[in-house]
Structure 1
Amino acid sequence: MEALRLEWAGGAPKLWAAGAMAQQGLVTTVSSRAGTAVVVGWVGSVKGRVAGARGLLDDFSRPGAAPRLPTGDYAAVLVCRDRILLMRDEHARIPLFFKESGGCVSAVSTSARRLGGAAELERRYFCRYLTGNMAQPHSELTPFVGVHRILGGEVVELSITGQIRGRVLRRACQAHDPPEPAADGPRLSGAAMDLRLALENAVGRRMGRMTACHVSGGTDSTSIALLAARLLAAGQGQPGDLVLLAGRFGGGELAGEQPYLDEAMEEIRRHAPAARPVIVDVDDVADFDDFQHHAGDPDEPHAHAFRAPFWSRLHAAAAELDCDTLMTGCGADPIADANPFHLHRLARTGQLRQMTKQARAWAAGSERGLRDVVCAYVVQPALPLAAERITALVCRRGTVLGGLGNFARPRWLRSGFARAHGYREASIEESRFVFGHKPEQSLYDAANYLAAPDPLSWRRARQDGFFLSHPFLDSEVIATMRRLPAGTTFRPGRPKAVLREAMADLLPSRICSRAVKIPFNQLFARGLRTHGDELIDLCRSARHPLVAEMFDVETLCRAVREAQLGIGDSYSWDRMNSSLALVVWLEQLDQRSRAHGAAAPVIAGS
């Protein structure tokens, strides 16, 4: 989807924005004597889109200025009098790409496919994509040779004629000092109060003209919806401007979530009686429904396209009510919980006795074995590739899916292709990103991409009129949790203890005390039962030459059969899902129309 485009005509830059998305508020254009900025998304706050875009232009247009990036979910192009700046926020929700040759940029767009067109496909990208579902957003590579991704938090400076002057990764602005708690506010410990205020600020920044909150009955989404209801009750908007969006399962194991959902809705509406509950019946939805559309239509392969039918049903309901933002509880598990890689820090600093003591407590609290905990959070971060190789050797005679870990080469990916196009190097880079030099810090960076994969939100934005937004992944919330000592956040048997304490005065006791939610395995199993044969036929009938060059199709088909029988684990199924999405994407690459709607010119550079 192309929301903006920058190109050159006669040596002068011309900047365009999609007119329909501008009318929806998804794209904001501002101009001043310093230049023009087109911002996709929002800077500062959803309600202050125009002010945020003006602030961005003012801050970055000054000669020699190198300010920190402001908060928000945005991609922006600034055409100033003496230079051009391309940038994205740290969370990288909204894509931005540029086409380059010989150090000179010829075009910039939010659509890699529009820039790539009939360009040669970049095979190294597909190796990186297949290492795991975090690979795409933090890699410069795109599916097309010569088309590059601007990374999250990166600022690219061009001359007025398009020559690349520099690429700099910049940190976001330091979070503002949190406001003092109200005199009649809850009595909380310091850590819980800090998190509560950070979450309130994050939710407040995301409140729009008509706000929807996804409510599942879990601690995370219910917390966000309750904070939104409290903000509305305190005068930050009209009470009727809140939509409570949920999916209802009438049968199967997911029907067990209904009592929690009902209780969450009742409590939220106690704070905002005019809030509108929108309960969508999703009994007929299964993973892989209309897979050719969901996997084939995006600009890039979408690893989570198999789950798109469920979220599309909910998005459509929010769009019918003209919502301009939709908040979720995504990100709470890795961000608001204790950081398990604290055990790795204890081990590498020689505190082995303390590490063993805490690992035992962690194992008891999570009902896991001590060996599993130490392996996952101490050994594997230090030796991820060695651990995967040993696993592959042990399971050589097992099933196709058995033992497939985070970075091991999928059996159906041809070894010759992997060697020729850098799969091993991609695995090393992925392991470095996930674990890093200090895994306890890398967890937060990786969580940003693992917890909230948003290609579906981006692809549907024009028809829905909103982007998804995730308060738990707000930079202020992450900074708050990073500051807290491990002893404050880790309480055996009580996940997300600080969050539960922070929200104890609002959450119903039944929701506050629940530790486990019913997973979406039902949708996945139903989808494979319904569409398994269709998926196998898609693989066998694929005609794009890269499919046969890259995959042993029969081995991939065998993986689908084994997944239907429940063989494998979540890691192996993720890899299978990613590969199936890639097959469909390649098949439809040459068939999709390039017509994305007319764009309206907003500036012709001097």
Structure 2
Amino acid sequence: MDALRLEWAGGAPKLRAADAMTRRGLVTTVSSPVGTAAVVGWVGSARDRVRGAHALLDTYGRQGAALPSPPGDYAAVLVCRDRILLTRDEQARIPLFFRESGGRVNAVSTSARALGGTGELDPRYFCRYLTGNMAQPHTDLTPFTGVHRVLGGEVVELSLTGQLRGRTPRSARPATGASAPTARGLCLDEAAQDLRLALETAVGRRMGATTACHVSGGTDSTGVALLAARLLAARSDEPRELVLLSGRFSQGELATEQPYLDVALEAIRRHAPAARPVIVDADDVADFDDFRHHAGDADEPHAHAFRAPFWSRLHGAAAGLGCDTLLTGCGADPVADANPFHLHRLARTGRFRQMTRQARAWAEGSERGLRDVVHAYVVQPALPLTAERITALCRGGTVLGGLGAFTRPRWLRPGFARAHGFREARIAQSRFVFGRRPEESLYDAANYLAAPDPLSWHRAGQDGFFLSHPFLDPAVVATMSHLPAMATFRPGSPKAVLREALADLLPAPIRGRAVKVPFDNLYARGLRRHGEELIALCRCARHPLVTEMFDTETLCRAVREARLGIGDAHSWDRMNSSLALVAWLEGLSAGS
């Protein structure tokens, strides 16, 4: 989606924003003696986008690029008196790209497809994409040769004529939680107070004039909605509305979530009686509905396009009520829970007896075997590629058997993988996911895995809002990352700090539940309903890169195995990503 565009005419920069996006408040353009800034999204506060845009322009325009990224969900182009700056927030929710040749940038846009749609495709990108669904937001590569991505928190500096002067990576944000020495002594109550404060600030920063909260009946989304309701009640002098958005299933496993949803809505409306519950009937929705549209029209291949039908149904309901932001509980599972890679830290520092004792507690609390816990959080982070290779050998015999997050799927042709750097891509991906200190890498990886944002971006023009995720706010992540394991881990009680932080708000049935029903039934229904269509999509693909990249018959076998329930979440993700890539390439062919 081309929300803003910067080009050069007669050697002078010309900055323009899409009229429809500007009318809906999704793009804010401001000017001052420093220059002009076009901001997609919001800086500082979703409530006051003009003030945030001015603050960004004044800060970067006067002081240069070597500054921490201001909080917010934004991508911005700043045309100053003596230079041009391109930047994004640290979480990289909103995309920004530039087309460069010979050290000179000739166009900037929020759409990679708009910059390179008729150009040459870069096969290295597709190898990186196929290593896992976190590959896109943290790499410079895009599907199009010569089109580059502005990374999260990065500042790209250009001259007024478009010469590329430099790319400054994000500056480390000062920790907002307790300092390391103090954190060692924190108890659960103190940790909960720190998290509550950070989460309240994150929710308040994201609330607009009409805020929608996705409420599923779980701890995470219910907690965000309760905090929004309290903030709304505390600011009764400001005209604001709250919409409680939920999907309802009257049959199947997901129907058992309805009592929790009813309890959550009742608790939220006690704090904000004027809140409007919007219950969307989702019985007829299945994954992969209208898959060619959701995957084929995206700006880049969208690994989670199979789940787009459900989110689209909810987004449409919120858009009909004029919401200008939609808050979710995405990110709470990895961010607000105890960090399991603490076991890896104990092992690499030689504290094996303590590691074994705590691993046994993890196993008992999560109803898993000790061997599984040690393999997942100690062995695999240390030797991720070797661990996956051994697992694949032990579980061979099917296309999906043993397929993990990094190994080459059997349908990806070995020649294509060798020629275009698949080995290097999976090494880079494994280092990103685990890093030298997996307990720290967990938070960066969670930011790119947790939220289905490409759909939000693709629909923003018609919906009038972006998704926003308080649990992925830098202050919340910093608070949790500085808490010691003893303050966060309670066997049998996931997200213990979060539950304690919201103890006065969460109703007892929700505060006490440890397991939430996943969307497996929606996925299985989608494969049963659309499996033959997906197989036909692979077999009839016309784009030459599909047959060059994939053994389509092997990919079709993977679809059949998934319909029978063979495989696991990792292998299904790899298959879903590949199907989305086929649909995207076909959409590219149709567009050209």
Do they fold alike, i.e. is TM over 0.5?
yes
Q: Secondary structure at the match of 1:107?
A: strand
Q: Which residue of 1 aligns with 2:415?
A: 416
1:56-205 to structure 2, matched below 5 A, reads: 56-62=56-62, 64=64, 66-171=66-171, 173-174=173-174, 189-205=189-205
Instruction: Spell out structure 1 runs of 4+ moving beyond 4 A.
Output: 175-178, 236-240
User: Deviations along 1:181-217, whole A, 9 cap, x unmatched?
Assistant: xxxxxx9821101101111000000110000000000
Stretch moving more, 481-490 or 231-240: 231-240
Stretch moving more, 220-229 or 62-71: 62-71
Q: Which residue of 2 aligns with 1:23?
A: 23
Q: Which residue of 2 aligns with 1:587?
A: 586
Q: Write the distance in 2 (CA, Å) between the matches of 1:513 and 1:461.
A: 36
Q: Write the distance in 2 (CA, Å) between the matches of 1:249 and 1:393.
A: 40
Over 3 Å counting, the alpha-carbon distance change for 1:21 and 1:477 in structure 2 is: same
- Aligned Cα root-mean-square deviation (Å): 1.5
Aligned residues: 584
Q: Write the distance in 2 (CA, Å) between the matches of 1:423 and 1:176.
A: 38
1:346-365 to structure 2, matched below 5 A, reads: 346-365=346-365
Q: Secondary structure at the match of 2:589?
A: coil
Q: Which residue of 2 aligns with 1:184?
A: none
Gaps of 5+ in 1: 179-186, 594-606
| Aligned-partner residue type, residue 334 of structure 2 | P
Q: Write the distance in 2 (CA, Å) between the matches of 1:196 and 1:32.
A: 37
Q: Secondary structure at the match of 1:57?
A: helix
Shift of residue 307, structure 1, vs aligned partner? 0.3
Shift of residue 272, structure 1, vs aligned partner? 0.5
Q: Write the distance in 1 (CA, Å) between the matches of 2:366 and 2:488.
A: 15
1:201-600 to structure 2, matched below 5 A, reads: 201-235=201-235, 241-396=241-396, 398-592=397-591
Shift of residue 391, structure 1, vs aligned partner? 2.3
Over 3 Å counting, the alpha-carbon distance change for 1:581 and 1:101 in structure 2 is: same
Shift of residue 240, structure 1, vs aligned partner? 6.4
Q: Which residue of 1 aligns with 2:182?
A: none
1:3-18 to structure 2, matched below 5 A, reads: 3-18=3-18
| Aligned-partner residue type, residue 42 of structure 1 | W
Q: Write the distance in 2 (CA, Å) between the matches of 1:302 and 1:383.
A: 28
User: Deviations along 1:79-131, whole A, 9 cap, x unmatched?
Assistant: 11111100011100000000011111111100001100211100000000000
Shift of residue 165, structure 1, vs aligned partner? 1.1
Stretch moving more, 229-238 or 315-324: 229-238
| Aligned-partner residue type, residue 430 of structure 2 | S
| Aligned-partner residue type, residue 47 of structure 1 | R
Shift of residue 410, structure 1, vs aligned partner? 0.6
Shift of residue 235, structure 1, vs aligned partner? 1.3
Over 3 Å counting, the alpha-carbon distance change for 1:422 and 1:10 in structure 2 is: same
Q: Secondary structure at the match of 2:119?
A: coil
User: Deviations along 1:495-539, whole A, 9 cap, x unmatched?
Assistant: 000000010111001100100000101110110110001110111
| Aligned-partner residue type, residue 455 of structure 2 | L
Shift of residue 177, structure 1, vs aligned partner? 8.6
Q: Give the TM-score normalised by structure 1.
A: 0.95
Q: Write the distance in 1 (CA, Å) between the matches of 2:586 and 2:15.
A: 32
Q: Secondary structure at the match of 1:510?
A: helix
Q: Write the distance in 1 (CA, Å) between the matches of 2:121 and 2:466.
A: 29
Q: Secondary structure at the match of 1:358?
A: helix
Shift of residue 392, structure 1, vs aligned partner? 2.8
Gaps of 5+ in 2: 179-186
Shift of residue 11, structure 1, vs aligned partner? 1.2
Shift of residue 471, structure 1, vs aligned partner? 0.3
Over 3 Å counting, the alpha-carbon distance change for 1:240 and 1:156 in structure 2 is: closer
Q: Give the TM-score normalised by structure 2.
A: 0.97
User: Deviations along 1:453-487, whole A, 9 cap, x unmatched?
Assistant: 31000000000000000000001100110111111
| Matched-pair contact (CA < 8 Å) for 1:70–1:173 | no
Q: Secondary structure at the match of 1:345?
A: helix
| Matched-pair contact (CA < 8 Å) for 2:67–2:171 | no
Q: Which residue of 2 aligns with 1:34?
A: 34
Q: Write the distance in 2 (CA, Å) between the matches of 1:100 and 1:427.
A: 26
